[in-house]
Amino acid sequence: MPAPKKAKKAVKSRRADGADGADEAPAAAASQSPPEPPRGRRVLLVDDDPEIIESMRTVLESKGYEILVARDGNQGLLMAERENPDLVVLDMMMPKRSGFLVLERLRRSHPVPMRVIMITANEGSRHKAYAEMLGVDDYIRKPFAMDRLLDSVQRLLGAAR
pLDDT in tens, 66-95: 999 999 999 999 999 999 999 999 999 998
pTM of the complete model: 0.73
Domain identity same for 89 and 117? yes
Task: Return d(Cα 34, Cα 140) in angstroms, integer.
Answer: 39
Split into its structural domains, the chain has a count of: 2
Instruction: Fill in the amino acid letter for 159.
Output: A
Domain identity same for 47 and 102? yes
Once rounded to an integer, what is the mean pLDDT over residues 140-145?
A: 94
Domain identity same for 13 and 69? no
